[in-house]
Chain A
Amino acid sequence: MSESESAAQPQPEQQAVGESSTAPSRRAVLGWGGAGFALGAAAAGGAVSAFGSGPDMVSAASSGASVPFHGEHQAGIASAVQDRLHFAAFDVKTKDREELVKLLKEWTVAARLMTAGLPVGEGGFGGLPEAPPDDTGEALGLKASRLTLTIGFGPGLFAKGRFGLEGKRPEALVDLELFPGDNLDPARSGGDLCVQACADDPQVAVHAIRQLARIGFGKVAVRWSQLGFGKTSSTTPDEQTPRNMMGFKDGTRNISGTDKAALDKHVWVGAGDGSDWLTGGSYLVARRIRMNIETWDRTPLQEQEDIFGRDKGEGAPVGKSKEREEPFLKAMKPEAHVRLAHPDTNNGATILRRGYSFTDGTDGLGRLDAGLFFLAYQRDVRKGFIPIQRNLAKSDGLNEYIQHVGSAVFAVPPGVRDKDDWWGRTLFA
């Protein structure tokens, strides 16, 4: 693999944050025993583009590079999927629109710093001994680790009489219906705001959410949050698809982060889509999907493979030998997951998935509290997640082994353009 490819078109901003990636990454050194090419890539490449593609992504993770925060779209959607997730949904507590706007500006400043691998405020130490430091400090000395922070606005924000945004609620930001089999916990659902933090280092992602929550106290309060690991789908098709907690590769046919045409068609909200403020943005559906791990593990291999419509070893669709071969849907059982989720079964409905596995210890019965934290971005929830989930909820063979226990939907604004821009400007300004 060619390391030089990883340094895809550094932009001016990347140079600005290059400070954080000029030093050899500790992990690169550890990982490759100081092999010259790894160090060279980290030093010469600066930040790796969010849209860099191909086999370089492994080295991108190891170099701890930063993903540009500014752009037409928010990072963290089409960007190469990082290893770890900390997702948080917030309730807005303030009733004052100006105070909310101020918070969004403060969050933007903090996000800009943290995604560049820098501490917030006056840093994590060296200040007044009597006062707590501005930065909590657990990410000091760590690389940016490709941290991306992505904000979304929930339906509650547009409620009448709250912030004067009722006229701006996009039609496509629908309240999700209760799908058959749903067992939603209100304490893990909804939220006025969300922030998705993805990074290759869990400490970096956790730090980011912790800082934002801290800055937000009094104005917003964390409603629920979810940690994730082991990305379950990738936006870099040349990489092997990671396995989910059931041991299967799922999400093979995801939209590539470099496929501009597909992104424009299925992910980014277009200029004529109805809500001008959201142009260049997207919609996010988040679902906490609990897996009945123990019963799944007692399921015969053939049944497991039939349920997914793929073989367990290679991940090839039924009747095929390679993971990425085009599936022949009719060869699969009618209730096979791949068959029911496929665009061809859903009038072309396509979503960009960025889900992560989660394991939150065990429940009171000693069962692994694990599953998939499903994150899907799309241009219109009514044409993306909803038809697919209706189809799956009705007859997916997996339903015996999974249950949707948390649910939320958000309108994801366009990217922060430059240092004067802020999250939500197009909605609030």
Chain B
Amino acid sequence: MRPARLTVIAAASVAAALTAVTGCSQKSDAGGNDAIKVAASDSACDVSKTEFPAGKVQFDVENKGAKVTEVYVLFPDARIVTERENIGPGTKASITAEIKAGEYEIVCKPGMKGDGIKQKVKVTGKGAAEEKRSPEADAAVAAYRAYVVTQAEETLPKAQAFADAVKAGDIEGAKKLYATSRIGWERTEPVAESFGDIDPKVDVREDGLEAGQDLEKDWTGWHRLEKALWADNKIGDREKQLADTLITDLTDWQKKVGQAEITPTSIANGAKELLDEVATGKVTGEEERYSRTDLVDFKANVEGAQKAYELLKPIASKNDPELVKQLDTQFAALNTLLDKYRADQTTYEFTSYDKVGEPERKELSDGVNALAEPLSKLAAAVTK
């Protein structure tokens, strides 16, 4: 079951459930008779049947190429139905999944990189058909998923550079790399947060720990390192260890991103949630209380919201042109306001938030409200 209307947060459990089902099926014997054979090579992705009945489907994959490959079954909006990584040359693997009627793509990725080789397949038969979405909506969802995946991919090397500086004991170097290592995460936060276990590991603040959690032991992630760098001004063994943990957790995030449940309305509400993040954490200066790099997060949140909006704009323009006009105006206004706090618009070097006075913070807050209120109507505009 895939309810078409879900927020990203609500969808997290669905995504988790899907993964769990897939995981289980892989272990069980689904019966090989009706299995679809997928012959993967370095230049082809041949599927034995391009049309098959809905239900529990097994794919028997054989890697006939020279490179390690991975195979995906994707929804039209590029969401992963199921996948299998690290299929070595000459080896076989089976993937099973519950698949409903609809159109899908089988993708082989020789070398586990790039867009891969795609093969369209059709699943027929009874069962609740996938709720039909417009091609525009599917295009928006696919493009947003690609954006989210790219953000995660681009974040890792930056986070690695930051982690390396921490491990080298280079306080000044690490400070310089800290804020930019977070940009990709902050741009896609609602999706990132939908994997409930990752957010508390990488982005929790000191006061976000739950009762019974130990500050020394359980506080991990960026903000723990932020405190070490700016407040404690020292890097010890624990910090070096935490730098590695951060990379492990972010790698986990990158792996999971493709599975996130994404719908046009969840993109729209996710955009609004990014502005909520700004309104509750950044404008108040709570987020980056040691580094005072709140405006970098602020900018990244706005960029992520704007990307989501731009992708939905073709749909929203038809349904609510007045809203689109308003959002264009308010995004521009907020970006102009933010640009006042950086001398060079090609960098993310923003004014330290402790140098931003109360009247200026009020102005930023007003700008966020001015954008977030109409943005809260975007979901309705793409649903009509």
Among B49-57, B216-224, B246-254, B365-373, the stretch in contact with A: B365-373
Check A131–B326 contact: CB distance below 8 A: no
A91, B269: Cα distance in complex, Å: 28
List, in ascending order, chain A residues with CB within 8 A of B379's CB.
128, 130-131
Q: Which residue of A lies closest to B376 (CB)?
A: A132
Check A128–B371 contact: CB distance below 8 A: no
- How many A-B Cβ pairs are below 8 Å? 42
A91, B365: Cα distance in complex, Å: 13
Check B366–A93 contact: CB distance below 8 A: yes
| In the assembled complex, B383 has its CB within 8 A of some CB on chain A | yes
A69, B326: Cα distance in complex, Å: 30
Which secondary structure dominates where chain B touches chain A? helix
List, in ascending order, chain B residues with CB within 8 A of A129's CB.
5
Q: How far is the CB of A52 from chain B (nearest CB, A)?
A: 38
Check A93–B370 contact: CB distance below 8 A: yes
Q: How far is the CB of B40 from chain A (nearest CB, A)?
A: 40
Check A218–B383 contact: CB distance below 8 A: no
Check A218–B371 contact: CB distance below 8 A: yes
| In the assembled complex, A125 has its CB within 8 A of some CB on chain B | no
| In the assembled complex, B380 has its CB within 8 A of some CB on chain A | yes
Q: Which residue of B lies closest to A127 (CB)?
A: B380
Considering only residues 218-239 of chain A, those with a C-beta below 8 Å from chain B are 218-219, 221
Check A128–B373 contact: CB distance below 8 A: no
Check B380–A221 contact: CB distance below 8 A: no
Check B370–A130 contact: CB distance below 8 A: no
Interface string of B307-344 (1 = CB under 8 A from A): 00000000000000000001000100000000000000
| In the assembled complex, B377 has its CB within 8 A of some CB on chain A | yes
List, in ascending order, chain A residues with CB within 8 A of B362's CB.
221
Instruction: Knowing A218-B326, A218-B330 are in contact, say whether A131-B370 is a contact too (CB < 8 A).
Output: no
| In the assembled complex, A328 has its CB within 8 A of some CB on chain B | no
Q: How far is the CB of A49 from chain B (nearest CB, A)?
A: 36
Check B269–A130 contact: CB distance below 8 A: yes
A68, B380: Cα distance in complex, Å: 34
List, in ascending order, chain A residues with CB within 8 A of B358's CB.
187
| In the assembled complex, B94 has its CB within 8 A of some CB on chain A | no
Q: Which residue of A lies closest to B7 (CB)?
A: A130
Instruction: Knowing A128-B379, A128-B380, A131-B380 are in contact, say whether A221-B269 is a contact too (CB < 8 A).
Output: no
Considering only residues 323-338 of chain A, those with a C-beta below 8 Å from chain B are none
Q: How far is the CB of B308 from chain A (nearest CB, A)?
A: 14
By a beta-carbon cutoff of 8 Å, the part of chain B in contact with chain A is 5, 7, 265, 268-269, 326, 330, 358, 362, 366, 369-374, 376-377, 379-380, 383
A-B contact pairs, 27 of them (CB 8 A): A128-B380, A130-B5, A130-B7, A130-B265, A130-B380, A130-B383, A131-B376, A131-B377, A131-B379, A131-B380, A131-B383, A132-B377, A187-B358, A214-B373, A217-B369, A217-B370, A217-B372, A217-B374, A218-B326, A218-B330, A218-B369, A218-B370, A218-B371, A218-B373, A221-B362, A221-B366, A221-B370
By a beta-carbon cutoff of 8 Å, the part of chain A in contact with chain B is 91, 93, 127-132, 187, 214, 217-219, 221
Known pairs A131-B383, A214-B373. 4 more at Cβ < 8 A? A130-B7, A130-B268, A130-B383, A217-B370
